[in-house]
A and B are shown apart, each in its own frame.
Chain A
Amino acid sequence: MKTEMKQIKHHLTEPLLMSYAAGTLPEAFNLVVATHISMCDSCRAALAEYDAVGGEVMLDVDPIDVAEDALAATLALIENGSVDTPVRKAAPTNSVFPAPLRDYVNGDVDAVKWRKVGGGVSQMLLSTSKDASVRLLHIPAGTAVPDHGHRGTELTLVLQGAFVDETDRFGAGDVEVANEDLNHTPVAEAGMDCICLAATDAPLRFNKLMPRIAQRFIGI
């Protein structure tokens, strides 16, 4: 019989979609956005619209003359085949991680090199530009991530399992967008370990002393 599509309840915000279309987000955020869109038709369709806005903004600028020989130079580039246009093969799979995330992990969930960060929680930092950071988090079922606030923006995308915090429940495909106003204690739901992709453009602010000290060692 029909398998129900995953019901995604928490989506990307309009400003995040617009910034992703504009190409102005930090790489770490781009990764969370691209991964969520891979799982969410609604945000994929919304992105198409913000891409269209970008096209119209581009048409709306005052044109600036290109070099006199620009067309000839471009045709020469085409003849030489010197412009690299890589095309990623469509790869519909049953993996836990969508393609953009697999590109950063170099594989699916079984390829992750987890490092324990205390309290049963493990993480893997992914390598991106330095203006923000992104990590995979593995939170055992029923375990809490220490109570923390945020200085900047934190995006948390659930890939497997679910977590619950003061605001709501977040299941696979859901993304929580947190800013300065939110202090929360996410707890992984019982039954299944929770795996999340979390990006932040500022260090988290833990509300208890011990995690603050630990933070210096684990780099979150």
Chain B
Amino acid sequence: MLTDNNVLTKADARPVPHPYSGSDTKAFRKSGAKKLTTEQSTKRMAWIVQVTAIREKKDKAAFAELFAYFAPRVKSFLMKSGASPDLAEECTQEVMATLWNKAHMFDPTKASVSTWIFTIARNRKIDLLRKQRRPEPEDLPWGPEAEPDQAEAIGLQQETEKLGEALATLPPEQRKLIQRAYFGELSHSEIAAETGLPLGTIKSRIRLALDRLRHAMK
């Protein structure tokens, strides 16, 4: 479907000062099926505002908007991972309820809302479909960050957006392999070490945050 490589991306020369002032990143697609990158980044910031509204005001309208966008995608992802339509429906509702319950734990400097919802869905999938415990890494004492750093949050959203674009513009065969890995159709020994994705930027950002944390703990 998204085989056109017609994405023109100007690298961001400077951090964007405000979530709604847009960025220098411009992307065009012939199909017009996807919106412009700028709009996509704005959309990611809007998701953060919605999660914050749930956390701070128990805002059902904000929840309804997130639900309308994410629930059908979570359901589809679960069905592609082997869940029956009924189980996927049930599981999706639980994932979205968990989003509400854990809204206070979401940190936009560590993840995009899409990443966070994916991890909730994945954990629920392991519980319900595979009936296994999921050992999770030890939590780090990040400490209470009343006001997450805005520039950090925006930077991470933009990098996640770029990762999504890179995935969409991979050669179809390669993109298919990555999807199959996440749907559970490939074992770890069948996954190639080279994904073709431009990985590294999100990793470096998180790594810097970890270094700062370790430094603060000394």
Q: Taking beta carbons and an 8 Å cutoff, which residues of A are in contact with B? A: 2, 5, 13-16, 18-19, 21-25, 27, 29-31, 33-35, 37-38, 41-42, 44-49, 51-67, 70-71, 73-75, 77-78, 83, 85, 87-92, 98-101, 103-104, 128-129, 153, 179
Contact A61 B118, CB 8 Å, known A38-B138, A67-B89? no
A16 to B210, CA, bound (A): 21
Q: Which residues of B contact A (CB under 8 A)?
A: 60, 63-64, 67-68, 71-77, 79-80, 85, 88-89, 92-94, 96-98, 100-102, 105, 110-112, 114-119, 121-123, 125-126, 130-141, 160, 163-164, 167-168, 178-179, 181-184, 186-189, 191-193, 195, 197, 199-200, 202-204, 206-207, 210-211, 214, 218
- When distances are taken between beta carbons in the complex, the residues of chain A under 8 Å from B191 are 14-15, 18-19
Instruction: Report the bound CA distance from A70 to B18 in whole Å.
Output: 35
A88 neighbours in B (Cβ, 8 Å): 136, 139
Residues of A within 8 A of B160 (CB): 52, 55-56
- Of the A-B pairs whose beta carbons lie under 8 Å apart in the complex, a sample of 18, sorted by A's number, is A30-B134, A33-B135, A38-B137, A44-B137, A45-B204, A49-B206, A52-B115, A56-B167, A59-B114, A63-B73, A63-B75, A64-B88, A66-B93, A71-B64, A87-B102, A99-B137, A129-B131, A179-B189
Task: Name which of B74, B88, B125, B132 has the most chain A CB atoms within 10 A of its CB.
Answer: B132
Given A25, A70, A99, which contacts B92 in the complex, CB threshold below 8 Å? A70
With A45-B203, A60-B167, A64-B76 already in contact, the answer to whether A85 and B101 are too (CB < 8 A) is yes
Bound: A42/B111 CA distance, A: 16
Q: Known contacts A60-B164, A66-B72; is A91 also within 8 Å of B138 by CB?
A: yes
Chain B nearest Cβ from A94, distance in angstroms: 13
Cβ-defined contact, A24 with B167, below 8 A: no
CA distance A42 to B206 in the complex (A): 9
Cα distance A13–B110 when bound, in Å?
22
Instruction: Report A-chain residues with C-beta under 8 Å of the C-beta of B74.
Output: 58
CB distance from A59 to the nearest CB of B (A): 5
Residue of B nearest to A26 (CB): B132
Residues from chain B with Cβ under 8 Å of A35 in the complex: 135, 137
Given the contacts A23-B123, A85-B102, A129 and B132 also touching, CB distance less than 8 Å: yes
Q: Is the CB of B135 within 8 A of A41?
A: no
Task: Report whether B97 and A100 are in contact in the complex, using a CB–CB cutoff of 8 Å.
Answer: no
Q: Is the CB of A58 within 8 A of B206?
A: no
CB-defined contacts of B72 to chain A, threshold 8 Å: 63-66
Bound form: Cα–Cα A65–B73 in Å: 9
Check A60–B168 contact: CB distance below 8 A.
Answer: yes
- Residue among A29, A33, A54, A67 making CB contact with B182, cutoff 8 Å: A54
Query: Which residue in chain A gives the minimum CB-CB distance to B210?
Result: A41
Complex interface: chain A residues within 8 A of B118 (CB): 51, 54-55, 57-58
The 4 tightest CB contacts between A and B, nearest first, are: A63-B72, A55-B115, A55-B114, A90-B139
Taking A33-B135, A60-B167, A98-B137 as known contacts, 4 extra A-B pairs with beta carbons closer than 8 A to each other, sorted by chain A number, are A35-B137, A47-B137, A57-B179, A90-B138
| Known A-B contacts A15-B189, A83-B98, A104-B135; A74 and B115 likewise in contact (beta carbons under 8 Å) | no
The residues of B that contact A128 with a CB separation of less than 8 Å are: 132-133
Cβ–Cβ contact A41 & B93, under 8 A: no
Q: Contact check, B132 vs A27: say whether CB atoms are below 8 A apart.
A: yes
Shortest CB–CB separation between residue A14 and chain B, in angstroms?
A: 5
Given A64-B72, A64-B75, decide whether A54 and B122 contact each other with a Cβ distance below 8 A.
Answer: yes
